Amino acid sequence: MSTANPDPLSGPFRMPLYPTLDRLYFGNTGTRFIRFSVLVGLRIRETSLGPQPWPVARAIMAPESPYSVLPFDVRMGLDLEITEPPESLRPDPIPSWRGVPCSFGLVTLWFRNDLVPDHQLVCFEVPMLLPHSAPTATHQLYLSDEQNMLFGSDFFVREQFQVLLQFDQFYQIDHLITGASVLDSMTPCGYVERDA
């Protein structure tokens, strides 16, 4: 039975990493690009199997960004728990994102820890930039930037995470409609983890 643990620093931690096909833009031109993501729970609900994350969303690894970002369209479409961060976590001044002014908040997210019995759920309060609107097309860098939350380098440094990629775990599958060979985005290709 899964359990929920509000303390993210209690022991080792590991969550699976998934490949995500994206598009990187240079002006009006785009090229296909592989990024990596994790699945996060936004709330916890009680079920017959114990506490479970619900709903579940995808978060893209964005270590090129100094701060994690909760894009405007994602924030408007999801019921998230956001609180004021302590002064020690708030950047001064608060930077913009893709040319859009931002505020700053702590976003409560739930992760499944693969290194404990029953994949216990762990709560993290993630400091994030909160853009006041969606970026214009001229400021968009990745196609998925307005569709997923982004974990910047601050998240990995603060939580002392390391990323392990397993390149032999990249698989192609046949697209259900076109039959074309596409990247399998549901098979883990590595882990985000922290030692004890």
Please, what is the average pLDDT of the chain? 83
Half-sphere CA count of 60, side-chain side, radius 13 A: 22
pTM for this structure? 0.83
Residue 139's pLDDT is: 61
What mean pLDDT is predicted for residues 167-171? 79
Which of 32-36, 117-121, 141-145, 179-183 is modeled with the greatest confidence?
32-36
Can the peptide bond before residue 55 be classed as cis, meaning omega within 30 degrees of 0? yes
Residue 140's pLDDT is: 60
Kindly state the helix (H) or strand (E) to which residue 109 belongs, with its residue range. strand 102-112
Residue 193's pLDDT is: 94
How much is the CA Rg of the chain, to the nearest whole Å? 17
The pLDDT tens digits for 54-80 are 788 889 999 989 999 999 988 888 778
Domain coordinates in residue numbering, the chain? 4-194
Lowest mean pLDDT among 7-16, 54-63, 67-76, 154-163: 7-16
Spatial distance between the Cα atoms of 130 and 47, rounded to a whole number of angstroms: 32
